[in-house]
Amino acid sequence: MGNARKYGVGCVILCLLLLLEVSFPLPGETQGESEDAVFLDADKVVFEEETGLAVAEGNVRVRRDVLRVFAHRVEMDSTEQVMSATSEPGKKVTLIQGDRVLTGDSLRYNMLSREGILTGAVGSSPAGDGRVFLRGKQMEVAPVDVARSRGWISSKGSKGVEEDELIGKLSDVSLTTCNERSPHYRLVSKSVVFVPGKRIIAKNPKVYIGEHLLFSYPFDYVVPLDPKERRALLSSFFPLILSDSDKGQGVGIGGPYVWDTGKALLNVAWWSDTGWEGKATVEQRLNDYWTVWATVEHSYEKESAEKLYRPSWGILHAANGWNASLRWTQREAISIQKKVGETYRGVLWREPEFSLLGPWGRAPLLNAYGRIGVSWGEYEDVQPTVSMNVRRLGAEVHLYSEEQLESYKTFVKSEYKRFWYDDPDSLEQEIFDSVFGIRYAWGTVDLATAYVRRWVSGETPMLWDYYRDREDLYQQVVFPAGKNLSVRIRGGYDLIDSKLAEMVYSVTLKGGECSRWELTYRNDRAEGDDWVGLSFFITAFPDTPVSFGRRELYDPFALPDGLAEVLRRDEEEQ
């Protein structure tokens, strides 16, 4: 019986190859396997030579180049080169191409034109730090050139996509990064185009939290699948309620318009103390490495008490961990937290500024990760009585080390910067920052302590990059407050001035392992710069939350920029 089955399978493979007019290597030849060869295997295979119909049942496996199909029953018309695959009750037909997996109730696929329809389609693909899951009524698949001719994607949108890739178009679709039977959030769209390894284009999706409609997105939305891109899955034009100690209470609306190779961000707000403000940003990706951007905003700056237009523009380059930036800014309203309870605010012109940061790499002798960077810029620093025009050259080194012990983890962050100026009275400045921290637990309570120290020598002719010694102590406590609910409290104590300078309170509501809401209140006990912010995080896209009224805060417990992905990759390799 076993020999008969092997003989039957061999005949089917041979006949399919001959009917496809494809040559195959004889034993001992070095010719590679043809990409057009179709291989069919199953528990039972029947081939009718007169009609050219092959019928396979039971654990059917079909392979053609990188395409794999698994089903209970497959009918293959070798004359028309059309395959029909069906599943058993309660099971699915599975189609695999690379790391993309699609399942459905049935599949009809033309091997020659590489077009097909998968009904009851369910699929997933890597996205960000997780996977994006799709479910649709049916999915049409076609090669890139056919997808372009049908208007599924534009010529620009298909740039960088291999011509042998299959593009999918789904109807009546639900998509999410939440791998649960009842996802905590999802996007629902009448039509979605799936470009493997690049992007998912959802046509005017509706956003649901659980079973509740949150809002409808007014444009097509693009979900990035390319690992080079980092973007939040959920964003939309959304009403905001704001609070800021400098501007009062506010209301506004903000969100993006996203297309295949870029996006535009628009925010408009009205404040009780300062009136209207607005900001618009456009980003356009030129290729996999280069992005150009431009911003114009009309905003209030506290120190000058002026509301002005503040344009900026530049170009970014990212490749193999290297990041370069060239930017120009005019009347930039800057806010820099220089130590706990001390924030510098002022106006700066960059004409221009260039920076280059290298990739994170292992430093085995130090048991640490490190990176280096350089910068150069021409600046106009607007000071209370005069404006300083200064050129500055800089170099920097970053180090990070951590060690997991039995019941706690220690970490050290260090950053050394040196700047040279063209001012005869202030030639150079050296800044050395270090954080010594420990994370530990007490029952269900997570605790962390950090000692922050800075040493400064030399001086600068400008105010915005003027730093002085600091010595601060931070304590953080995180404890559960209910199902999927936790509270975080962090205090910052100034050891030099002997005062509690800052308190930060956060309440986090988790939507399973898929997402979380975070409400934050910052109490600035030194300068009175209090604010309230709300953020929504998608687990698969943790670096790009949707935030309303939240500002950047110095966090001594956070990993340095760009290091999280390196640590995760090293853990996977180990």
Task: Report the alpha-carbon distance of residue 441 to residue 1 in Å, rounded.
Answer: 63
CA-CA distance, 143 to 265, in Å (whole number)? Answer: 33
Q: Is 290 exposed, middle or buried (0-12, 13-18, 19+ CB in 10 A)?
A: middle
Task: Give pairs for 383-389: CB < 8 Å, separation 24+.
Answer: 383/346, 383/463, 388/423, 388/461, 388/462
**3-6: long-range contacts (C-beta < 8 A, 24 or more apart)?**
5/43, 5/44, 5/45
Distances (CA, A) of 161 to 133, 168, 375, 416: 21, 13, 35, 42
Which comes out higher in pLDDT, residue 397 or 160?
A: 397
- Please give the single-letter amino acid code of residue 439: R
Residue whose token pair is 């190859």: 17
pLDDT of residue 24: 31
Calculate ∠ Cα 182-185-191, nearest 5°.
95
Note every long-range contact of 11-18, with CB atoms under 8 Å and residues 24 or more positions apart, other chains counting. 11/47, 12/40, 12/45, 12/47, 12/54, 12/56, 13/38, 13/39, 13/40, 15/47, 15/49, 15/52, 15/54, 15/78, 16/40, 16/54, 16/76, 16/78
- What residues contact 14, with CB distance under 8 A and at least 6 apart? none
- The 8-class DSSP code of residue 437 comes to E
Fold of 238-573: Porin (2.40.160)
Which residues lie below 8 Å from residue 177, measured CB to CB, with a gap of 6+? 127, 128, 130, 131, 132, 133, 233, 514, 538, 539, 540, 541
Tell me the DSSP string of 351-397: EEEEEEE---EEEGGGTEEEEEEEEEEEEEEE-SS-EEEEEEEEEEE
Average pLDDT, the chain: 83
C-beta separation of 380 from 389 below 8 A: yes
What confidence score (pLDDT) does residue 12 get?
41
Q: Where are the domains of the chain?
A: 238-573
* pLDDT tens profile 486-523: 999 999 999 999 999 999 999 998 876 677 888 899 99
Residue 355 is predicted with a pLDDT of 97
Calculate Rg over the CA atoms of the chain.
29
Tell if the pTM clears 0.75, that is, is over it: no
* CA atoms of 76 and 67, how far apart (whole Å): 15
Residues 6+ apart with CB under 8 A from 56: 12, 40, 41, 42, 44, 45, 46, 73, 74, 75, 76
pLDDT category, 27, cuts 50, 70, 90? very low
Quick check: 28 pLDDT over 70? no
123-157 tens-digit pLDDT? 777 766 677 888 888 888 888 888 888 888 877 76
Strands 221-224 and 238-244: unpaired
Give the pLDDT confidence score for residue 324 in this predicted structure: 97
CA pair distance 547, 232, nearest whole angstrom? 11
φ, ψ for residue 7, nearest 5 deg: -65, -45
Burial state string for 111-150 with b = 16 or more CB within 10 A and e = fewer than 16: beebbbbbebbbbbbbbbbbbbbbbbebbbbbbbebbbee
pLDDT category at 545 given cuts 50, 70, 90 is low
Contacts 24+ apart (CB under 8 A), 258-266: 258/219, 258/220, 258/221, 258/222, 259/220, 259/222, 260/153, 260/154, 260/156, 260/157, 260/199, 260/201, 260/222, 261/156, 261/157, 261/159, 261/285, 262/291, 263/231, 266/237
How far apart CA 210 and CA 335 sit, in angstroms, is: 38
Weakest mean pLDDT among 86-95, 166-175, 258-267, 499-508: 258-267
pLDDT in tens, 275-315: 899 999 999 989 889 999 999 999 988 878 889 999 999 99
